[in-house]
Amino acid sequence: MSDTSTVVLNGYDLTIENIVAIGVGDKKVKLDPEALKRCRASRTFLEQEVAAKRVIYGVNTSFGPMCNKIISDDEIETLQVNLIRSHAAGLGDPLKDYIAIAVLAVRLNTLVKGYSGVRIELLEFMQYMINRRIAPYIPECGSVGASGDLIHLAHLALAVIGEGKVFYGGELLEASEVFASLGKTPMRLSFKEGIALMNGTSAMTGLAAFALFGAKKLLRLSCVTGAFALEIFGGIDDAFDEDLHRVKPHEGQLSIADTIRRLYDGSGNITLRKDMHELIRKQHSDGLVYETSINVQDVYSVRCTPQVLAPVAEAIEQAARAVEIEANSSNDNPIIIPEKKKVIHGGNFHGQSIGFYMDMLCIAISTLCNISERRTNKFLDKSLNEGLPEFLIPGTVGLTMGFMGAQYLATSTTAENRQLAGPVSTNSISCNASNQDVVSMGTVAARKAFKSVSNAKHILTLEVLADLQALSFRNASRLGTGTGRIYKILSSEFTPYDNSGVFHELLVKTRKQLFSSQLFDDLSVYWQ
């Protein structure tokens, strides 16, 4: 039986879900024995090349535009430490400790692939740090994402050699003190190992993994809120008919429509197409139909949910594929391929793929927020909400404000996410004495995407609260199988808002409940 509490790192099959699980401490890591064989072969070949006086970038040469400066054999280890200290030059708030652990895990997985020429001792030391949850202190600002995340990963490497700070046991401490208290000697790096730690895309990839993990939850929840809105307003099933979507067969559209149909299956609230026509006929039995009080179509934020969320679903899927490829790639420089007796200098450290897909993810999340915010507005505006109480609050009009103030949270955060949707991967600025003349800004894009996803959770939290409040007035007893099950879970911890409490407390409680893993595990049957 496999150990589900441990992820075996082999450089080939690390998933977004496991990156997150390692980061938050749900899983530990092991090193694959076959992968270690590849690493030994890679190191042995590199040692042979160094002994043969081959000129190898970053091993016996300096870095960047100084690569024409040859380093003597007795200084090649000092070179690695000097690289780390000089490039540990980030500023800003530190990455969360769980993200720093994830970054460490991604970097370890890329090195264990076997093409970086590092020693087994370094790999085992990184494994120790992950499993003991010794998280490097990594300032958020500094990477241009071209020669990888040089600044971020220099701070990671600083912790490996026992310098700088680390998060341990919930505290920010000196790395040297933490290792001393554990009886662990920090690493003394050999040639190639400093640049192997630093020259890659692991910081942007770790951040991207968390952004995508949250984005997947947001997409699923947006299907739920779309189904809730359809049921609360007695929407027409026409817009979700399978045949309708098969004549415009975007994969995301088909998937979203199918999910929403399964969520409202068995509903007593949906207006069926045949029933709508019959109601109109009864209303105008003389056959002279000039105007009907029955809506023939729902507003776009209800009716067009599959079409709006289609590219969101597809963007998340494409971005996830790119991130998992990056997490399982050798992305430092040079690459060591012992079986072909090659030391190859190249640019696998460039983060353009992550930058591009994180920009795309920001556009997708902004799109998701747009439809969520508009549905919330429909619930609250008395001219649009089809008989629900104004701002979803019963009682003396004007004395109680209900959801009025909370709407500003959704509106302002939606505006912020629209701003974050502007691309940064196109904003290349030459640096490093014009050696890095085309850069990706991939880490900035990943940070932006992580922020966008966090913001979107605020917006969806308010929409769900509006759903629950509206269902306290009508239609809850006739919900579909899926929507009914979800409503039962969520309403067990929900008391309709009556202005007697501070709305912030309700938001905090609901946000935590919504984005727990347990909720999505319980409802996995509804997602493809």
The tokens describing 96, both together, are: 């969360």
pLDDT at 291 > cutoff 60: no
Ranges 65-74, 95-104, 389-398, 404-413: which has the least confidence:
65-74
- Number of domains into which the chain is organized: 2
Q: Please give the pLDDT value at position 1.
A: 43
Residue 13: inside a domain: yes
Pairing of strands 135-136, 91-94: unpaired
Residue 29's φ and ψ, nearest 5 degrees, are -125, 150
Q: Are residues 248 and 284 in the same domain?
A: yes
> For residues 296 and 162, which has the higher predicted lDDT (pLDDT)?
162
Q: Please give the pLDDT value at position 527.
A: 62
Which residues form the domain of 220? 209-526
Q: Please give the pLDDT value at position 523.
A: 66
Is residue 121 a contact partner of residue 140, using CB atoms and an 8 Å limit? no
Pairing of strands 135-136, 165-168: antiparallel
> For residues 15 and 74, which has the higher predicted lDDT (pLDDT)?
15
Q: Is 236 strand, coil or helix? A: strand
Pairing of strands 139-141, 91-94: antiparallel
Residue 57 among the catalytic residues: yes
Q: Are residues 341 and 363 in the same domain?
A: yes
Q: Please give the pLDDT value at position 9.
A: 98
Q: Supply the mean pLDDT for the chain.
A: 90
- Give ∠ CA 343-346-349 in degrees, rounded to 5: 115
Q: Are residues 102 and 121 in the same domain?
A: yes
Q: Is 500 strand, coil or helix? A: coil
Q: Are residues 340 and 260 in the same domain?
A: yes
- Among residues 200, 220, 255, which one ends one of the domains? 200
pLDDT at 467 > cutoff 70: yes
Ranges 58-72, 161-175, 364-378, 385-399: which has the least confidence:
58-72
- Among residues 200, 230, 258, which one ends one of the domains? 200
Q: Are residues 388 and 471 in the same domain?
A: yes
Q: Are residues 77 and 224 in the same domain?
A: no
pLDDT at 266 > cutoff 80: yes
pLDDT band, very low/low/confident/very high, at 278 (cuts 50, 70, 90): low
Q: Are residues 498 and 476 in the same domain?
A: yes
- Among residues 200, 223, 250, which one ends one of the domains? 200
Q: Please give the pLDDT value at position 495.
A: 93
Residue 496: inside a domain: yes
The CATH number of whichever domain residue 462 belongs to comes to 1.20.200.10
Q: What is the mean pLDDT of residues 103-111?
A: 98
pLDDT at 259 > cutoff 90: yes
The CATH number of whichever domain residue 59 belongs to comes to 1.10.275.10
> For residues 473 and 70, which has the higher predicted lDDT (pLDDT)?
473
Q: Are residues 350 and 406 in the same domain?
A: yes
Residue 1: inside a domain: no
Q: Are residues 217 and 153 in the same domain?
A: no
| Count of residues in the chain | 528
Residue 292: inside a domain: yes
Residue 364: inside a domain: yes
Q: Are residues 245 and 303 in the same domain?
A: yes
Fill in the amino acid letter for 141.
C
Helix residue ranges, H only, 381-441: 404-420
pLDDT in tens, 46-104: 999 988 888 777 777 756 666 567 767 777 788 888 888 988 999 999 999 999 999 99
pLDDT at 204 > cutoff 70: yes
Q: What is the residue whose two structure tokens read 């850069």?
A: 439
Q: Are residues 474 and 333 in the same domain?
A: yes
pLDDT band, very low/low/confident/very high, at 430 (cuts 50, 70, 90): confident
Q: Please give the pLDDT value at position 240.
A: 94
Q: Are residues 156 and 276 in the same domain?
A: no
Among 57, 168, 290, 300, which one carries the catalytic annotation?
Answer: 57
